[in-house]
Amino acid sequence: MSTLSLNLQAQPLRYTCGVALALLLAVMALRLGTLPAVVASGFGTLTLAMVMGIVVGNTVYPRLADSCAPGVQIAKQHLLRLGIMLYGFRLTFQQIADVGISGVAIDLATLSSTFFIACWLGRRVLKLDRDTVWLIGAGSSICGAAAILATEPVIKAEAQKVTVAIATVVIFGTVAIFLYPLLWHEFSTLFPAMTPEAWGVFTGSTMHEVAQVVAAGHAVGPQVENNAVITKMLRVMMLAPFLLLLNARAGKSPQRGKVQFPWFALIFIAVALFNSLHLLPQAWVSAIGELDNLLLATAMAALGLTTRLSQLGRTGFKPILLGLLLFIWLIAGGGAINLAAHYLLA
């Protein structure tokens, strides 16, 4: 039997191993998430899945990485997108319309201001190179690592700079998962206008990754989670025009296949619109919801498995500082944008 045949036979096993590991952690997180002590602590099941993934990823997983890495990547990317698309079965057109114009305006204001501040601070103050600044700015202002990876071929950035930018997203996006549920209680007390629905818009318009938004919203409540996901998907769909503008700014001719539209975000909207017609039996919708919880928890566990604490320490001071300053802006400035939009567009 040829080496090629052996590789083809071995490859499915590698995918199965990684997916199975992430799935096992997800099932454990879902079971633990029902315990009264865990429920009382305010720990969402998705956050719990990520924490378990981080623990395993920095202890046992390095010895399994060669066998499991391809499957873990599938869980982190493709299962997450499938989970987000199926999340549309929890929503209706009316809920999307409620976020509507104000959500788009908030996303645009947050995205543009964050990227502008990244360019100004990174280039003028911290004296970082253009590619590093643009990568960190894209990750902070749009959708985390996905935006960074989409920006990389447009500006032809070096692999090391991509890694540095992704590290900033991992650090502060992970912090946000735990911080936002805590901030909710403070913000809602200080600002009566910050209802659960409004907090969901704030979460979706200011947090880095789609998975992080789902986890942070889930930890607070279903109203927050729903609005957070809708707002985040509207923000994700801004990635394609952002890349086109960035490509023009970089002075490079467009390259076919390099600027791609995030179709999973559009499918998410289409699924929610289909769900608004109430064509499926409620039992089916409930079953899809259970499957969706499992997919999202599996993706969060995979995200934790690939988070290397040792690598984060080697990122460098200035990129981390830029990521921190943008993180602070997303909370403070993003909060101000959300409150201003509430009063002006209400």
pLDDT in tens, 6-56: 443 446 666 788 899 999 999 998 888 788 776 665 566 777 887 888 889
So what's the pLDDT on residue 125?
Answer: 93
260 pLDDT more than 60: no
The 10 Å CB-count burial string (b at 16+, else e) for 45-73 is: bbbbbbbbbbebbeeebeebeeebbbbbb
The answer on pLDDT for 272 being more than 90 is no
- Please give the pLDDT value at position 43: 60
Q: What pLDDT shows up at residue 214?
A: 85
Q: Indicate if the pLDDT at residue 262 is higher than 70.
A: no
Torsion of CA 332, 333, 334, 337, to 10 degrees: 130
Instruction: Tell me the mean pLDDT in the region 87-113.
Output: 84
Which residues, including other chains, have CB under 8 Å from residue 274's CB and lie 6 or more apart? 88
Report for 59-63, 143-147, 332-336: range of highest mean pLDDT: 332-336
The more confidently predicted of residues 42 and 152 is 152
3-state SS, the chain, equals CCHHHHHHHHHHHHHHHHHHHHHHHHHHHHHHCCCHHHHHHCCCHHHHHHHHHHHHHCCCHHHCHHHHHHHHHHHHHHHHHHHHHHHHHHCCHHHHHHHHHHHHHHHHHHHHHHHHHHHHHHHHHCCCCHHHHHHHHHHHHHHCHHHHHHHHHHHCCCHHHHHHHHHHHHHHHHHHHHHHHHHHHHHHHHCCCCCHHHHHHHHHHHCCCHHHHHHHHHHHCHHHHHHHHHHHHHHHCCHHHHHHHHHHHCCCCCCCCCCCCCHHHHHHHHHHHHHCCCCCCHHHHHHHHHHHHHHHHHHHHHHHHCCCHHHHCCCCHHHHHHHHHHHHHHHHHHHHHHHHHHHHHC
> Which residues lie below 8 Å from residue 104, measured CB to CB, with a gap of 6+?
234
pLDDT of res. 327: 96
d(CA 180, CA 60): 29
Q: Average per-residue pLDDT in the chain? A: 82
Per-residue pLDDT for 1 more than 50?
Answer: no
122-126, 130-134, 207-211: lowest mean pLDDT where? Answer: 207-211
Other beta carbons less than 10 A from residue 174's beta carbon: 22
Question: Which of 132-136, 156-160, 201-205, 277-281 is least confident?
Answer: 156-160
Q: What angle do CA 284, 290, 291 make, to 5 degrees?
A: 90
pLDDT grade, residue 5 (50/70/90)? very low
pLDDT at 4: 40
Quickly state the pLDDT bin for 165 (edges 50, 70, 90). Answer: confident
Among 123-132, 158-167, 235-244, name the one with the lowest average pLDDT: 158-167
pLDDT at 128: 92
Contact present, 219 and 194 (Cβ < 8 Å): no
Query: Do 137 and 118 meet the contact criterion of CB atoms below 8 Å apart?
Result: yes
pLDDT for 314 equals 66
C-alpha 316/C-alpha 163 separation (Å) is 11
Tell me how long the chain is.
346
Please say whether the beta carbons of 139 and 315 come within 8 A.
Answer: no
Domain residue ranges of the chain, discontinuous segments joined by +? 3-345
Question: How confident is the model over 195-211, as a mean pLDDT?
Answer: 89
Looking only at Cα atoms, what is the longest distance across the chain?
Answer: 70
CB 144 within 8 A of CB 209: yes
> What value does the mean pLDDT take over residues 73-82?
85
Tokens of 256: 């076919």
Residues 275-304, mean pLDDT to the nearest whole number: 88
pLDDT of residue 270: 86
Task: Look at residue 186 in the predicted model and tell me its pLDDT.
Answer: 81
pLDDT of residue 253: 45
What is the structure's pLDDT at 107? 92
pLDDT of residue 254: 45
